[in-house]
Amino acid sequence: MARAPTRIAILAGGSGTRFWPAGRASKPKQLLALDGDDKRPLLRATVDRVKPLSRRPPLIVAPAKFKRALTKLLPELPADAFLWEPEPRNTCAAVALAAHAAQAAGHDGPLVVVPADHHVAPLKDYRAALRSMAERARVFDGIVTLGLEPDHAATGYGYLERGVKLADAAAGPIHSVRRFIEKPSRRRAQGMLKRGGFLWNGGTFAFRPSVFLSQLDQHQADIGWPLARAFQRYGGKAFTAALRRAYDGMPSISIDYAVMEKSRSVEVLASDITWDDLGSWDAVARRRTADEDGNRLRGDVSVIASKDCLVDAESGHVALLGVKGLVVVRRGDTVLVARRGHGEEVRKVVQRLKDEGREDLLR
**185 shares a domain with 60:** yes
- Residue pair 198/159 in contact by the 8 Å Cβ criterion: yes
Question: For strand 266-271 and strand 59-63, is the pairing parallel, antiparallel, or unpaired?
Answer: unpaired
| Tens digits of residue pLDDT in 68-83 | 999 999 999 999 999 9
| Tens digits of residue pLDDT in 240-293 | 999 999 999 899 999 999 999 999 999 999 999 999 999 999 999 999 999 999
Of 242, 277, 312, at which residue does a domain stop? 277
Identify the pLDDT of residue 30: 95
Identify the pLDDT of residue 2: 63
Identify the pLDDT of residue 160: 97
Mean pLDDT of 150-159: 91
For residue 304, pLDDT over 70 is answered with: yes
Identify the pLDDT of residue 291: 97
**288 shares a domain with 181:** no
**180 shares a domain with 75:** yes
Mean pLDDT of 9-20: 91
What percent of the chain is modeled with pLDDT above 90?
Answer: 93
**86 shares a domain with 33:** yes
**98 shares a domain with 65:** yes
Identify the pLDDT of residue 15: 79
Identify the pLDDT of residue 344: 87
Pure H helices in the chain:
42-50, 67-73, 90-104, 123-139, 186-195, 209-219, 221-230, 239-248, 255, 281-287, 346-355
Q: Residue 305's CB: how many other CB atoms inside 10 A?
A: 10
- Residue pair 320/304 in contact by the 8 Å Cβ criterion: yes
| Cα gap 329→326, rounded to integer Å | 10
Of 239, 255, 277, at which residue does a domain stop? 277
**287 shares a domain with 263:** no
At residue 276, what is the residue type?
D
**Domain for residue 2, yes or no?**
no
What is the CATH classification number for the domain harbouring 182?
Answer: 3.90.550.10
**Domain for residue 167, yes or no?**
yes
Of 238, 257, 277, at which residue does a domain stop? 277
**286 shares a domain with 229:** no
- With both helix axes pointing from N to C terminus, report the angle between 123-139 and 42-50 in degrees, rounded to the nearest 10: 60
- Residue pair 134/112 in contact by the 8 Å Cβ criterion: yes
Structural domains counted in the chain: 2
List beta partners, residue 313. 330
| Cα gap 99→325, rounded to integer Å | 43
**241 shares a domain with 103:** yes
pTM of the prediction? 0.95
Mean pLDDT of 319-347: 95
Q: Is 8 helix (H, G, I), strand (E, B) or coil?
A: strand
| CA 119 from centroid of its chain's CA atoms | 9
Identify the pLDDT of residue 282: 94
**Domain for residue 24, yes or no?**
yes
The three-state DSSP-derived secondary structure of 216-228 is HHHHCHHHHHHHH
**96 shares a domain with 209:** yes
Identify the pLDDT of residue 16: 79
At residue 154, what is the residue type?
A
Domain that holds residue 206: 7-277
**Domain for residue 1, yes or no?**
no
Residues 6+ apart with CB under 8 A from 58: 7, 8, 9, 10, 47, 50, 51, 77, 81
**Domain for residue 152, yes or no?**
yes
- Residue pair 60/50 in contact by the 8 Å Cβ criterion: no
Identify the pLDDT of residue 1: 52
Identify the pLDDT of residue 3: 79
Q: How confident is the model at residue 126 (pLDDT cuts 50, 70, 90)?
A: very high
**Domain for residue 272, yes or no?**
yes
- Residue pair 330/315 in contact by the 8 Å Cβ criterion: yes
Identify the pLDDT of residue 156: 86
**Domain for residue 316, yes or no?**
yes
- Residue pair 51/7 in contact by the 8 Å Cβ criterion: no
**Domain for residue 156, yes or no?**
yes
What percent of the chain is modeled with pLDDT above 70?
Answer: 99
**129 shares a domain with 259:** yes
**227 shares a domain with 327:** no
SS3 breakdown of the chain: % helix, strand, coil, rounded to 5? 35, 30, 35
CA 91, 94, 97 angle in degrees (round to 5)? 150
**132 shares a domain with 273:** yes
Q: How confident is the model at residue 4 (pLDDT cuts 50, 70, 90)?
A: confident
For residue 102, pLDDT over 80 is answered with: yes
Q: How confident is the model at residue 50 (pLDDT cuts 50, 70, 90)?
A: very high
Average pLDDT, the chain: 95
